[in-house]
Structures are given as C-alpha cells and as structure tokens.
Homo-oligomer: A and B are copies of this chain.
Amino acid sequence: MTGSNSPTLREVAERAGVHITTASRALNPSTSSLVRASTLRRVKAAARELRYQPNAIARGLKTARSMSVGVLLPDLTNPLFPPIVRGVEDVLAAAGYTTLIANTDNDPRRQGTLFDSLRARQVDGFVVATARREDELLTEAHREGVRIVLVNRRVDRADIPAVIGDDQSGIAQAVAHLVELGHTRIGHVAGPQNTATGLARLRAYRQAVEDAGLAADPALVARADGFTEAEGARALRAMLSATAVPTAVVAANDMIALGCLDVFAERGLGCPGDVSLVGFNDTPFIDRLTPALTTVRVPHYQIGAEAARMLLERLGDPDLPAKVITLPVTLVPRASTAPPRG
C-alpha cells in the first residue's frame, strides 16, 4: 500500500453521486452558482472527505494559463534581490499565482536557456531583474507579446514596462548632502555602464555636480566593471593614482562603497575624517559597519510588489501601455559622511 494517489475530480463526482461535469462546476467558484444548493453541498463534502485538490496542471492545459510567473534575476544570494522577490511573491501568491525563480548569473546564454525553460512551463508572464541595458532576448520576446515587467532596470530602445527606484533623485540627494556638509571635490565610483543603474547613477552624478555649481573634473570619475567590492576597490585605486584624494566619494552601490572603504584603510585614510563616503541600496547590515555607511535606501520590497501588480494588470489586459513606475528613495545619513577636514 504505497501512497494513494491524489483523488481526481472523477472520484469526487462518483462519491457525491453526480456527473463529473457537475462536480467541476460545483468546485469552481465562478460556476458554482449554476449548481443546486443541495448538490453543491454533497460535492463539496465529497471533495473535503477525499481531500481533493484540483490538478492545476490539468486545469492549465485546458485554460491555457498556468497561473505561474517566472522571475529572472542574476543571483539570489545578492542581498538586493531577496526583498524584491519577496514583494513579487507576496502579491502574486495573493492572486493565486506561483513564482518560479531562475538565477542567470548575468550570463546571457544562461538567461536564454532559463527563459525558454520557463516558457515551456507556460508561465503567464515574467518579472525580470537582470541588469543589461541591451537585451535582444527581452526586446524580442516583448515584441512577440510575452508579458514582461522589468524591475530595477530598463532596456534601451524598447518600451518594456518597468518599476525602478529613483536613481536620479538618490544620487542627487547624496551629492546635495555632501555639498551641504561643505564638500567641493566629490568623486564618483560608477557601476558598469552596460547596466541601466550604472549608467543612470553616473549621469545623475554629473547632473548633480553641475547643479551644485562645482567643476566637472573627469578625473574624479572611475568605473567599476561590476557591482562588487573588488571592482569598487580597483576603480577607486585607479582614480587615486590619477588625481588627489577627493574629500568625498559617492559609490554606485554599497558593495562598491565597501571596496572604497578597503582602499581607504589601505592608504591610511580615515572615513569620514579624511574622506566621506556614500553608498546606494541600504544593504542589510551596512548600518553596522564601522563607520556606519551613509547610503540611499531603496524600497526593494515595494518595487517587487509593484512590479507584480503591474504584471497582474497586464495579464488582465495585454494592451495596456508600457508605463514605467518610479518609486522614491531616501538618503539615510549615517557616520560615513562629515564636513571636510578644515
């Protein structure tokens, strides 16, 4: 006596003494009103007794909807993503959808494979959090009518709906904060320029520096080739080998900021004594560093939740315009920023 298989609708119907069709109608909220009350009760009782669970797969085959959506992201172990995923899941689950997650490791080929595999599973749509600005795959899929919502990024030359944090405002707030403290030599360690956020934040930095009436010194900008501690350190070292130490650095994200801290330590530079530092994202635990990092808080959970809502909306009406929602971000001043040394 191995595990009795799940009961089918047919068995429920038999037990209730009705035709399978009637059972189907009774158990389906949208059609149960067509069934006589007493019959309804019988069927429901039978279903309960057998612990009947409709087979979502079979249902999906008929209805051509899987009630599932795919989430594509670079790497779940990057602390940026769990809250986003959680937001997506909470909203989607409440609507009866299941979430399939796939890690691309930023490898376009892998992304392609996973995308296909998810499509084979008939997902009704995608939430995509991978980062590249150019993305043939997404551009074409979107053109073909695949439902996609982007989070934390956009794709060049393609009107794909997206939900993003306000990079521009975040950097502006950071720079304004530093200017207010009296800084005039403010550097930027930019993120990879083939990512939407890397680019947006660099542009925002340039804009903010100009708005503050400061000189735009190209030597004060370094580019990291990844949003990582190691790349942040490498980029900052490059900057420091070409120019004098700035009095403050705005990093494109917290990991890069961590790399900057390493370089400060390397060179015996105190933070914020000798150099102030601002990160981006408000990564968990970043407030427990020494010094606690001033950074820009991004509402990742809400971004995920909003993206899910948007996808749901588009699943309902495919012809909705491809809007882009920008969520506000907040500077969180902590101990890594202070007035420049007299």
Closest to A100 in B: B98
For the complex, give the distance between the alpha carbons of A61 and B4 in Å: 18
- For A286, list chain B residues within 8 Å (CB): 285
- Which A37-76 residues sit within 8 Å CB-CB of chain B? 53-58, 60-61, 66, 68, 75-76
| B93 and A86 contact, CB distance less than 8 A | no
Of A116-124, A240-248, A267-275, the one touching chain B: A116-124
- The A interface, classified by DSSP as helix, strand, loop or mixed, is mixed
Is residue A30 within 8 Å, beta carbon to beta carbon, of the partner chain? Answer: no
Contact with B along A13-57 (1 / 0, CB 8 A): 000000000000000000000000000000000000000011111
Contact with B along A112-150 (1 / 0, CB 8 A): 001011111110000000000000000000001110000
Is residue A213 within 8 Å, beta carbon to beta carbon, of the partner chain? Answer: no
Of A77-85, A152-160, A326-334, the one touching chain B: A77-85
Please tell me the number of chain A residues within 8 Å of chain B, measured between CB atoms.
Answer: 52
Number of copies: 2
Q: Which of B75, B85, B122 contacts A86 (CB 8 A)?
A: B75
| B120 and A56 contact, CB distance less than 8 A | yes
Is residue A99 within 8 Å, beta carbon to beta carbon, of the partner chain? Answer: yes
| B285 and A56 contact, CB distance less than 8 A | no
- For A288, list chain B residues within 8 Å (CB): 258, 285, 288-289
Q: Which of B79, B89, B284 contacts A101 (CB 8 A)?
A: B89
Q: Which of B53, B77, B83, B89 contacts A116 (CB 8 A)?
A: B53
Is residue A102 within 8 Å, beta carbon to beta carbon, of the partner chain? Answer: yes
| A101 and B99 contact, CB distance less than 8 A | yes
Query: Which 5 A-B pairs have CB atoms at the shortest separation, nearest pair first?
Result: A3-B145, A290-B290, A285-B285, A77-B82, A53-B120
State the A residues within 8 Å of B (CB). Answer: 2-4, 6, 53-58, 60-61, 66, 68, 75-77, 79, 81-83, 85-86, 89-90, 93, 98-103, 114, 116-122, 144-146, 258, 283-286, 288-290, 318
